Amino acid sequence: MNIKLAEKIELDSIQMRDVYAGCIVGMIEHGEPVMVLDADLMRPLGILPYKDKYPENIIDCGIAEANMIGVACGLSAEGFVPFTHSFAAFASRRVMDQVFMSGAYARQNVKMVGSDPGVCAALNGGTHMAFEDVAMMRAVPEMTIIEPTDAVMLEDLLPKIAHSRGMVYLRLCRTETERIYAPGSDFEIGRAAVLREGNDLTIIASGREVPEAVRAAGLLSARGISARVLDMFTVKPLDAGAVERAAVGTGAIVTAENHNIIGGLGSAVAELTSELCPVPVERVGVRDSFGVVGKTEYLMRRFALTAEDIVNSAMRVLERKRTEDSGRDKE
């Protein structure tokens, strides 16, 4: 893995769906056995303009997500590499039996895209706002879960996902994201990217929360606090080595995710540290709530997902760390 950071964090001019569509169509044009299946959402993901050009590779399955996964598993059994898509709420809730039995249990090779996760659903509201999709997919044996941070990462990872073997859930923002990485960065599935070194605590973030984590580290630095920042874009398999090094090296961890704190990245990190190196952990994320209608900026504040919320959690975890250190000194 060889990452290069962008000179500054700013909203990218490239939409994630354009990168996705371009990469997928590029693989089709190069003769790779890629099939694209969609649940009546080709336009939102940027695939619709290519449907007539590649009718044998691009299939609209209609609003029948479970059936779409069944079709994808059949295509996989015949040697194709199917990419399926629906909004994350429907790409997870409506398909679990097919994902588990026809896909994972049968050792098929389906790449599932769930778009607009969490607060990215914005004005589509609570019915379309998936705060539980990672938790559901984490429970499926041998599932790989990836949440690309920006367009640079997505462009690098898509061919690697296509050439990997097994079930993959790709949690994807469709529109613009804030750019973290410079072009030419190379990522490895299953390994966290270290965005900033630090000694006092570690912030482990994914997806929409990565730019917030970097900003939070800057705010903490102004207070004289040194925060390590990890981009945990692969939620499963979790980079256990990076988490253990963070626990040992900094003694305190804050996780940040655009997801329920139950069953997601925070749960995965807390489960791991409790076994390998117990340290104080604070989790920034949605706290057992349903989604609501609102613009993303409002939802970030509503669900306490901002850089300032990460800073507040960092101060709490540092206080817990000091208390535990003081207790050990008295023993």
70 located within any domain: yes
Q: Do the domain assignments include residue 220?
A: yes
Task: Work out the average pLDDT over 73-97.
Answer: 97
Examine the domain organization and report whether 209 and 108 are in the same domain: no
329 pLDDT more than 70 = no
Which of these three, 153, 181, 209, is where a domain ends? 181
Q: How far apart are CA 212 and CA 207, in angstroms?
A: 10
* Residue 10 domain-assigned (yes or no): no
Q: In this structure, is residue 236 part of a structural domain? A: yes
Domain around 28: 15-181
Active site residue 56: no
pLDDT digits (tens, 9 = 90+) for 28-65: 999 999 999 999 999 999 999 999 999 999 999 999 99
pLDDT of res. 327 = 66
CB 71 within 8 A of CB 61: yes
- Catalytic option among 32, 65, 212, 244: 65
* pLDDT > 90? residue 324: no
Averaged pLDDT, 292-299: 96
223 and 296, same domain (yes or no): yes
Residues 174 and 200 occupy one common structural domain: no
Angle in degrees, CA 91, 268, 147, rounded to 5: 40
Same domain, 172 and 198: no
Alpha-carbon distance values, 258 to 7, 57, 99, 173, 248 (Å)? 25, 32, 23, 11, 26
The model's pLDDT over 88-116, given as tens digits with 9 standing for 90+, comes to 999 999 999 999 999 999 999 999 999 99
Are 231 and 94 contained in the same domain? no
Q: How many domains does the chain divide into?
A: 2
Answer whether 133's CB lies under 8 Å from 117's CB: yes
Structural domain contains residue 49? yes
Q: What is the CATH number of the domain that holds 112?
A: 3.40.50.970
* Residue 128 sits in the same domain as residue 213: no
Whether residues 169 and 312 share a domain: the answer is no
Tell me: do 176 and 31 sit in the same domain.
Answer: yes
Q: Are residues 162 and 300 in the same domain?
A: no
pLDDT at 70 (0 to 100): 98
Residue 203 lies inside a defined structural domain of this protein? yes
Instruction: Note whether residue 188 is domain-resident.
Output: no
Is 321 found in the same domain as 249?
Answer: yes
Query: Within this chain, do residues 274 and 133 fall inside the same structural domain, yes or no?
Result: no
Confidence of residue 328 (pLDDT cuts 50, 70, 90): low
| CATH number of 232's domain | 3.40.50.920
| Section 67-73 average pLDDT | 98
148, 181, 214 — which closes off a domain?
181
**Does residue 9 form part of some domain?**
no
* End position of a domain, from candidates 181, 207, 226: 181
**Average pLDDT value over all residues in the chain:** 96
What's the pLDDT score for residue 239? 98
Q: What is the pLDDT of residues 215-249, one digit of tens each?
A: 999 999 999 999 999 999 999 999 999 999 999 99
Query: Quick one: 35 and 132 in the same domain?
Result: yes
